[in-house]
C-alpha cells in the first residue's frame, strides 16, 4: 500500500462548532501576534493552570496559524514532505485523472518530471504548480463563456 493510499484512508471526524470556533480564535490570536510582535514564544495554559512555554520560529507560528485557519473553515488538511515525489500512478490519483493523461501532459511539456532509470517522477511542488495553472486556465475559460453568454443575452 502506497503512502498516498494510506493518507486517503485516514478519515477525519467532523469538527464540532466549538472546535471550529476554537480554531478560528486561536488562528486570529497567532496571526495578530505575528503582525504586531517580534516574539517567538508561545505560552500554553493547561487545565490545571500550568504555563509551559515553547519557542518557535515565526515561520512555524505562521504555518500553525494557516493550519488553524483551514481547520476553522472545515477544509481537509494533508501534511506532506516538500521533497515528496510521485510516480505517474500516484500523480494521477492525486489530481484525479488517468495515468495516460498524466503521461500525455508530461510528454507535451506541461508537467515537469525527472527520470529515475526508466520511471518518471513528479515533484510535489511541480504537481501543485500544474494544478494551479490548470485551475487558472479553467477559470479563464469559464469567464469567457460567461462573458459570451452575457453578450448574447443568455441568462444562467
pLDDT for residue 112? 97
pLDDT tens digits for 29-73? 888 877 776 666 677 677 787 777 777 777 888 888 888 988 888
Q: Could you tell me where in the chain the CATH 1.10.1660.10 domains are found?
A: 85-151
Q: Looking at 6-10, 56-60, 102-106, 124-128, which range is the least confident one?
A: 6-10
Q: Which CATH number is correct for 85-151, 1.10.1660.10, 3.50.50.60, 1.10.3720.10, 3.90.1150.10? A: 1.10.1660.10
pLDDT for residue 113? 97
pLDDT for residue 1? 55
Instruction: Give the integer Cα–Cα distance in Å for 146 and 134.
Output: 18
Integer CA distances (angstroms), 65 to 31, 62, 132, in order: 6, 5, 22
Which sign, positive or negative, has the C-alpha torsion 71, 75, 78, 81?
negative
**The whole model's pTM is what?**
0.58
Name the residue among 127, 20, 34 with its Cα closest to residue 75. Answer: 20
pLDDT at 8 over 60: no
Name the residue among 79, 78, 97 with its Cα closest to residue 88. Answer: 97
Amino acid at each position: 500500500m502506497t503512502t498516498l493510499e494510506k493518507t486517503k484512508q485516514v478519515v477525519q471526524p467532523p469538527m464540532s462548532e466549538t472546535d471550529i470556533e476554537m480554531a478560528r480564535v486561536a488562528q486570529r490570536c497567532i496571526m495578530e501576534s505575528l503582525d504586531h510582535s517580534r516574539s517567538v514564544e508561545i505560552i500554553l495554559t493547561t487545565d490545571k493552570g500550568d504555563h509551559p512555554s515553547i519557542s518557535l520560529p515565526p515561520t512555524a507560528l505562521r504555518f500553525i496559524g494557516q493550519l488553524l485557519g483551514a481547520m476553522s473553515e472545515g477544509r481537509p488538511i494533508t501534511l506532506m514532505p516538500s521533497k515528496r515525489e510521485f510516480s505517474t500512478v500516484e500523480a494521477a490519483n492525486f489530481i484525479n485523472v488517468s495515468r495516460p493523461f498524466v503521461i500525455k501532459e508530461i510528454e507535451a511539456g506541461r508537467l515537469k518530471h525527472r527520470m529515475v532509470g526508466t520511471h518518471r517522477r513528479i515533484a510535489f511542488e511541480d504537481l501543485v504548480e500544474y494544478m494551479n495553472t490548470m485551475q487558472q486556465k479553467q477559470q479563464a475559460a469559464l469567464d469567457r463563456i460567461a462573458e459570451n453568454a452575457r453578450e448574447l443575452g443568455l441568462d444562467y
